[in-house]
Amino acid sequence: MRTLRLTLAYDGTNYVGWQRQPDGVSIQQLIEDAFVPFVGHAPGPSVVGAGRTDAGVHALGQVASVNVAFEHETGAIGRALNVRLPADVRVLQVEDAMPGFHARFHATGKSYRYRVVTAPVASPFVRWFCWHAPARYDVDAIRAAAGAFVGRHDFASFQASGSSVEETTRTIERLDVLRDEDGLTFEITGDGFLRHMVRTIVGTLMEVGAGSRPVSATAEMLAARDRRAAGRTAPAQGLTLVQVRY
Protein backbone atom coordinates (compact mmCIF):
# COMPACT_ATOMS: atom_id res chain seq x y z
CA MET A 1 0.00 0.00 0.00
CA ARG A 2 1.23 3.49 -0.87
CA THR A 3 0.50 6.66 1.14
CA LEU A 4 0.08 9.95 -0.69
CA ARG A 5 0.21 13.43 0.80
CA LEU A 6 -1.93 16.04 -0.96
CA THR A 7 -1.69 19.80 -0.55
CA LEU A 8 -4.98 21.50 -1.39
CA ALA A 9 -6.42 24.97 -1.84
CA TYR A 10 -10.11 25.71 -2.00
CA ASP A 11 -12.77 28.38 -1.87
CA GLY A 12 -15.16 26.98 0.72
CA THR A 13 -18.10 29.23 -0.18
CA ASN A 14 -20.20 26.58 -1.92
CA TYR A 15 -19.40 23.64 0.34
CA VAL A 16 -20.56 22.20 3.67
CA GLY A 17 -16.97 22.04 4.90
CA TRP A 18 -14.18 19.49 4.65
CA GLN A 19 -16.00 16.49 6.10
CA ARG A 20 -18.66 14.46 4.30
CA GLN A 21 -22.18 15.40 5.40
CA PRO A 22 -25.59 13.79 4.77
CA ASP A 23 -26.71 16.93 2.94
CA GLY A 24 -24.58 19.10 0.70
CA VAL A 25 -21.23 18.66 -1.03
CA SER A 26 -18.01 18.53 1.00
CA ILE A 27 -14.38 18.94 -0.04
CA GLN A 28 -13.59 15.43 1.21
CA GLN A 29 -16.34 13.99 -0.99
CA LEU A 30 -15.02 15.79 -4.07
CA ILE A 31 -11.46 14.54 -3.56
CA GLU A 32 -12.56 10.96 -2.88
CA ASP A 33 -14.81 10.98 -5.95
CA ALA A 34 -11.94 12.33 -8.08
CA PHE A 35 -9.93 9.20 -7.16
CA VAL A 36 -12.60 6.81 -8.50
CA PRO A 37 -11.05 6.44 -12.01
CA PHE A 38 -7.75 5.39 -10.40
CA VAL A 39 -9.33 2.56 -8.39
CA GLY A 40 -12.05 1.59 -10.87
CA HIS A 41 -14.94 1.60 -8.43
CA ALA A 42 -17.00 3.86 -6.17
CA PRO A 43 -16.59 4.98 -3.54
CA GLY A 44 -13.02 6.15 -3.89
CA PRO A 45 -10.36 5.66 -1.20
CA SER A 46 -10.83 7.43 2.14
CA VAL A 47 -9.08 10.82 2.20
CA VAL A 48 -8.16 12.27 5.61
CA GLY A 49 -7.78 16.04 6.04
CA ALA A 50 -5.48 17.77 8.52
CA GLY A 51 -8.26 20.14 9.56
CA ARG A 52 -12.01 19.73 9.37
CA THR A 53 -12.77 23.19 8.07
CA ASP A 54 -16.39 24.27 8.53
CA ALA A 55 -18.88 25.30 5.88
CA GLY A 56 -17.72 28.49 4.15
CA VAL A 57 -14.13 28.30 5.46
CA HIS A 58 -11.32 28.42 2.90
CA ALA A 59 -7.87 26.87 2.60
CA LEU A 60 -4.58 27.85 1.00
CA GLY A 61 -2.60 24.91 2.39
CA GLN A 62 -4.88 22.12 3.56
CA VAL A 63 -3.07 18.77 3.77
CA ALA A 64 -4.70 15.38 3.20
CA SER A 65 -3.49 11.79 3.24
CA VAL A 66 -4.77 8.81 1.30
CA ASN A 67 -3.67 5.18 0.95
CA VAL A 68 -3.71 3.75 -2.58
CA ALA A 69 -2.51 0.63 -4.39
CA PHE A 70 -1.76 2.09 -7.82
CA GLU A 71 1.70 3.29 -8.94
CA HIS A 72 0.97 6.33 -11.11
CA GLU A 73 3.50 9.17 -11.01
CA THR A 74 2.60 11.90 -8.50
CA GLY A 75 2.47 14.69 -11.07
CA ALA A 76 0.07 12.70 -13.22
CA ILE A 77 -2.14 12.01 -10.19
CA GLY A 78 -2.36 15.73 -9.42
CA ARG A 79 -3.23 16.64 -12.98
CA ALA A 80 -5.89 13.93 -13.23
CA LEU A 81 -7.50 14.96 -9.93
CA ASN A 82 -7.69 18.60 -11.01
CA VAL A 83 -9.39 17.61 -14.27
CA ARG A 84 -12.18 16.04 -12.24
CA LEU A 85 -12.41 18.71 -9.54
CA PRO A 86 -14.36 21.98 -9.82
CA ALA A 87 -12.31 25.13 -10.40
CA ASP A 88 -12.75 26.30 -6.80
CA VAL A 89 -10.93 23.21 -5.46
CA ARG A 90 -7.33 22.61 -6.55
CA VAL A 91 -4.69 20.01 -5.79
CA LEU A 92 -1.48 22.01 -5.50
CA GLN A 93 0.87 19.09 -4.94
CA VAL A 94 0.92 15.32 -4.64
CA GLU A 95 3.82 13.65 -2.83
CA ASP A 96 4.71 10.17 -1.68
CA ALA A 97 4.63 10.10 2.13
CA MET A 98 6.12 7.74 4.66
CA PRO A 99 3.95 4.62 5.19
CA GLY A 100 1.39 5.32 7.87
CA PHE A 101 1.43 9.10 7.43
CA HIS A 102 -1.82 10.57 8.78
CA ALA A 103 -2.60 14.15 7.83
CA ARG A 104 -4.57 14.87 10.98
CA PHE A 105 -2.84 12.91 13.73
CA HIS A 106 0.72 13.72 12.64
CA ALA A 107 0.17 17.48 12.35
CA THR A 108 2.09 19.49 14.97
CA GLY A 109 0.63 22.91 14.26
CA LYS A 110 -1.61 25.00 12.02
CA SER A 111 -1.72 28.61 10.87
CA TYR A 112 -4.95 30.45 10.13
CA ARG A 113 -5.76 33.87 8.74
CA TYR A 114 -8.94 35.82 9.45
CA ARG A 115 -9.83 38.91 7.43
CA VAL A 116 -12.15 41.69 8.65
CA VAL A 117 -13.05 44.60 6.37
CA THR A 118 -13.94 47.59 8.52
CA ALA A 119 -14.25 50.12 5.68
CA PRO A 120 -17.79 51.36 4.87
CA VAL A 121 -17.82 49.44 1.59
CA ALA A 122 -16.33 45.99 0.97
CA SER A 123 -15.07 45.22 -2.52
CA PRO A 124 -17.26 42.69 -4.35
CA PHE A 125 -14.06 40.77 -5.10
CA VAL A 126 -13.43 39.98 -1.41
CA ARG A 127 -17.00 39.62 -0.14
CA TRP A 128 -16.78 35.82 0.19
CA PHE A 129 -13.39 35.99 1.92
CA CYS A 130 -13.96 38.48 4.71
CA TRP A 131 -16.26 39.56 7.51
CA HIS A 132 -17.58 43.00 6.63
CA ALA A 133 -17.92 44.82 9.96
CA PRO A 134 -17.88 48.55 9.12
CA ALA A 135 -17.06 50.69 12.17
CA ARG A 136 -14.19 52.31 14.01
CA TYR A 137 -12.23 49.97 16.27
CA ASP A 138 -9.54 50.53 18.88
CA VAL A 139 -6.73 48.49 17.31
CA ASP A 140 -4.40 49.07 20.26
CA ALA A 141 -7.00 47.52 22.57
CA ILE A 142 -7.44 44.57 20.20
CA ARG A 143 -3.69 43.96 20.13
CA ALA A 144 -3.42 44.21 23.91
CA ALA A 145 -6.23 41.70 24.41
CA ALA A 146 -4.81 39.41 21.71
CA GLY A 147 -1.55 39.12 23.61
CA ALA A 148 -3.32 37.45 26.51
CA PHE A 149 -4.25 34.49 24.30
CA VAL A 150 -0.64 33.68 23.41
CA GLY A 151 0.75 30.75 25.37
CA ARG A 152 -0.76 27.56 26.72
CA HIS A 153 -4.32 27.95 28.03
CA ASP A 154 -7.57 26.09 28.46
CA PHE A 155 -9.74 27.38 25.58
CA ALA A 156 -13.00 25.69 26.61
CA SER A 157 -14.74 29.09 26.54
CA PHE A 158 -13.73 29.51 22.90
CA GLN A 159 -14.98 26.28 21.38
CA ALA A 160 -18.33 25.61 19.73
CA SER A 161 -21.23 25.02 22.10
CA GLY A 162 -22.00 21.36 22.61
CA SER A 163 -18.54 20.16 21.62
CA SER A 164 -17.62 16.73 23.00
CA VAL A 165 -13.84 17.35 23.07
CA GLU A 166 -12.55 16.60 26.56
CA GLU A 167 -9.02 18.03 26.36
CA THR A 168 -9.41 21.74 25.62
CA THR A 169 -5.91 22.99 26.44
CA ARG A 170 -4.04 24.38 23.44
CA THR A 171 -0.95 26.51 22.79
CA ILE A 172 -1.13 29.65 20.66
CA GLU A 173 2.36 30.47 19.48
CA ARG A 174 1.57 33.66 17.62
CA LEU A 175 -1.40 35.99 17.25
CA ASP A 176 -0.68 39.05 15.12
CA VAL A 177 -3.18 41.80 14.34
CA LEU A 178 -2.29 43.57 11.09
CA ARG A 179 -3.95 46.81 10.02
CA ASP A 180 -4.38 48.32 6.55
CA GLU A 181 -6.63 50.94 4.97
CA ASP A 182 -9.55 48.52 4.55
CA GLY A 183 -9.48 46.66 7.84
CA LEU A 184 -7.74 44.05 9.97
CA THR A 185 -6.07 40.71 9.37
CA PHE A 186 -5.59 38.26 12.23
CA GLU A 187 -2.71 35.79 11.79
CA ILE A 188 -2.77 32.95 14.32
CA THR A 189 -0.52 29.92 14.73
CA GLY A 190 -0.83 27.17 17.32
CA ASP A 191 -0.37 23.49 18.05
CA GLY A 192 -4.05 22.80 17.46
CA PHE A 193 -7.46 24.45 17.50
CA LEU A 194 -10.88 23.56 18.85
CA ARG A 195 -13.93 23.87 16.65
CA HIS A 196 -14.78 27.57 16.14
CA MET A 197 -11.84 28.55 18.36
CA VAL A 198 -10.21 30.98 15.91
CA ARG A 199 -13.54 32.50 14.93
CA THR A 200 -14.59 32.97 18.58
CA ILE A 201 -11.25 34.57 19.47
CA VAL A 202 -11.64 36.98 16.55
CA GLY A 203 -15.26 37.74 17.42
CA THR A 204 -14.28 38.43 21.02
CA LEU A 205 -11.37 40.67 20.04
CA MET A 206 -13.61 42.68 17.73
CA GLU A 207 -15.95 43.26 20.67
CA VAL A 208 -12.96 44.54 22.64
CA GLY A 209 -12.10 46.85 19.74
CA ALA A 210 -15.68 48.11 19.66
CA GLY A 211 -15.53 48.94 23.36
CA SER A 212 -18.16 46.43 24.47
CA ARG A 213 -15.64 44.33 26.41
CA PRO A 214 -12.62 45.49 28.42
CA VAL A 215 -9.10 44.43 27.50
CA SER A 216 -8.73 42.88 30.95
CA ALA A 217 -11.64 40.46 30.44
CA THR A 218 -9.57 37.90 28.52
CA ALA A 219 -8.23 36.14 31.62
CA GLU A 220 -11.72 35.89 33.10
CA MET A 221 -13.12 34.39 29.91
CA LEU A 222 -10.38 31.76 29.79
CA ALA A 223 -10.86 30.90 33.47
CA ALA A 224 -14.63 30.52 33.08
CA ARG A 225 -14.36 27.47 30.77
CA ASP A 226 -17.86 28.35 29.57
CA ARG A 227 -18.77 29.31 25.99
CA ARG A 228 -21.21 31.90 27.31
CA ALA A 229 -18.32 33.87 28.84
CA ALA A 230 -16.67 34.66 25.49
CA GLY A 231 -17.78 36.84 22.61
CA ARG A 232 -19.54 36.10 19.34
CA THR A 233 -18.34 33.62 16.75
CA ALA A 234 -17.08 35.52 13.73
CA PRO A 235 -18.59 34.48 10.36
CA ALA A 236 -17.01 31.52 8.58
CA GLN A 237 -16.18 33.23 5.30
CA GLY A 238 -13.41 35.37 6.80
CA LEU A 239 -11.35 32.34 7.86
CA THR A 240 -8.63 30.60 5.81
CA LEU A 241 -6.45 27.64 6.78
CA VAL A 242 -3.04 28.86 5.58
CA GLN A 243 -0.59 26.11 6.52
CA VAL A 244 -0.27 22.80 8.35
CA ARG A 245 2.99 21.97 10.11
CA TYR A 246 4.53 18.50 10.51
* DSSP H helix total and E strand total for the chain: 6, 10
Phi-psi sector, 227: left (phi>0), alpha (psi -120 to 50), beta: alpha
The Cα 10–Cα 49 span in angstroms is 13
Q: Is 64 exposed, middle or buried, given 0-12, 13-18 or 19+ CB atoms closer than 10 A?
A: buried
> Cα(229)–Cα(224) distance, rounded to whole angstroms?
7
Q: What's the first-to-final CA gap in the chain, in angstroms?
A: 22
* Helix-strand-coil split of the chain, %, nearest 5: 30, 30, 40
Nearest-CA neighbor of 113 among 34, 178, 48? 178
Q: Catalytic annotation on 54?
A: yes
Active-site position among 11, 23, 33, 54: 54
Tell me which residues are annotated as active site: 54
